[in-house]
């Protein structure tokens, strides 16, 4: 199998070479998830949070046909302002590359590229899921099937109630994707700390999560792990307020026959407008919170990987 050439930034290449902690970031959140200039400010702030917590950020995107792992500030800025950029899930990458286009990568595409790049941890805001009404529309995000096939650990704040949360959890169960809530018994709903659904598992430290990643990988299931990190209490929105806003946006998407890959960007933009920007403020806070956790996990994972290499040195093996 030939592998696509990846364009690494110098700092990401150096960190990967040294086994230092790296956190992947997606770019659809920049191109289709937030309005300009909040998208650019957030992208920069999230990278800074990752550095403050001891890891190197690797924002992933397609620029002029090349897959970039780690962006220069000018590239981030161009993506944030571009209007003709594709929203690329994994299946869109090949066509965009061949016609030398540019794309923001969704969770599914970013997981795929992170795996090729050797990056195990990826932070985002919310993953896609099973949409409300999926029993007739069949709208299930490729993020979920990718989680069932690619061994990247994705840190999110749960899923928004633009989606059918119980069906999303059922689908991930079928796909054999472990769902671990960080410091909570409940599965969070993005803007709020609980969806009313229990998470399958709870772990309370980045070190435990890193150990679970290593254990999961050793089992060879080949699936990703979804870490659900509740939005900080101070930034959470009231369920009554946001659920009403979301229902209005979903009803509008239906009445305007918005379909396929346009559904999620439409809903995000509409919820931002209908909430007078409150959803965007919460979204920015939770992405930073996820970036901090992901960086701490990456630091713990790098330490565990380094110590297991030492303990598996020829000397310690022959001592058994």
Is residue 158 part of the contact set for ligand PSU (CB under 6 A)? no
Nearest to 60 by CA among 16, 93, 105: 105
Residue with tokens 């933009």: 269
Contacting residue, 106, 161, 184, 289, with ligand PSU by CB under 6 A: 106
Least distance in angstroms from the C-beta of 267 to ligand PSU: 9
Strands 153-156 and 86-88 turn out to be unpaired
Burial class from Cβ neighbours inside 10 Å (0-12, 13-18, 19+) for residue 64 reads exposed
For residue 130, the 8-state DSSP code is: B
Is residue 26 part of the contact set for ligand PSU (CB under 6 A)? yes
To the query of whether residue 288 is one of the catalytic residues in this protein, the response is no
Contacting residue, 57, 70, 90, 125, with ligand PSU by CB under 6 A: 125
Nearest to 269 by CA among 81, 41, 32: 32
Catalytic residue chosen out of the listed positions 120, 160, 261, 288: 160
Least distance in angstroms from the C-beta of 286 to ligand PSU: 9
Contact set with Mn ion (CB under 5 A): 139
Distance CA 23, CA 10 (A): 15
As beta bridge partners, residue 69 has: 8, 60
Contacting residue, 24, 62, 67, 107, with ligand PSU by CB under 6 A: 107
Least distance in angstroms from the C-beta of 74 to ligand PSU: 22
Q: Which of residues 249-278 bind ligand PSU (CB under 6 A)?
A: 261, 264, 268
Distance CA 105, CA 111 (A): 9
Catalytic residue chosen out of the listed positions 26, 47, 75, 115: 26
Distance CA 67, CA 20 (A): 22
Least distance in angstroms from the C-beta of 129 to Mn ion: 9
To the query of whether residue 160 is one of the catalytic residues in this protein, the response is yes
Q: Which residues bind ligand PSU (CB under 6 A)?
A: 26, 28-29, 33, 106-107, 125-128, 141-143, 160, 261, 264, 268
Q: What is the set of active-site residues?
A: 26, 160
């Amino acid at each position: 199998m030939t592998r696509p050439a990846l364009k690494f930034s110098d700092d990401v290449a150096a960190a990967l070479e040294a086994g230092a902690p790296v956190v992947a970031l997606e770019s659809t959140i920049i191109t289709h998830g937030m309005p300009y200039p909040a998208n650019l400010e957030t992208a920069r702030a999230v990278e800074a949070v990752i550095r403050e917590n001891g890891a190197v950020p690797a924002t992933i995107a397609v620029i002029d046909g090349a897959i970039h792992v780690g962006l220069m500030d000018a590239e981030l800025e161009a993506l944030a302002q571009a209007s003709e950029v594709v929203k690329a899930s994994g299946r869109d990458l090949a066509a965009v590359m061949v016609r030398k286009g540019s794309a923001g990568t969704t969770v599914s595409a970013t997981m795929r590229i992170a795996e090729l790049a050797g990056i195990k941890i990826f932070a985002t805001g919310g993953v896609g899921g099973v949409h409300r009404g999926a029993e007739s529309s069949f709208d299930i995000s490729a993020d979920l099937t990718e989680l069932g096939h690619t061994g990247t650990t994705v840190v999110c704040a749960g899923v928004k109630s633009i989606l059918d949360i119980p069906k999303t959890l059922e689908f991930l169960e079928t796909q054999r994707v472990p769902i671990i809530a960080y410091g909570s018994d409940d599965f969070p709903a993005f803007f709020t700390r609980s969806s009313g659904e229990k998470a399958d598992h709870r772990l309370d430290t980045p070190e435990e999560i890193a150990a679970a990643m290593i254990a999961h990988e050793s089992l060879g299931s080949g699936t990703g792990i979804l870490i659900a990190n509740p939005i900080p209490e101070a930034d959470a929105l009231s369920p009554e307020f946001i659920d009403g806003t979301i229902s209005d946006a979903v009803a509008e998407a239906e009445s305007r026959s918005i379909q396929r890959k346009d559904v999620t960007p439409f809903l995000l933009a509409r919820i931002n407008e209908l909430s007078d920007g409150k959803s965007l403020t919460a979204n920015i806070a939770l992405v930073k919170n996820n970036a901090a956790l992901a960086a701490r996990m990456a630091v713990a994972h790098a330490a565990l990987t380094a110590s297991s290499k030492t303990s598996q040195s020829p000397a310690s093996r022959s001592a058994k």
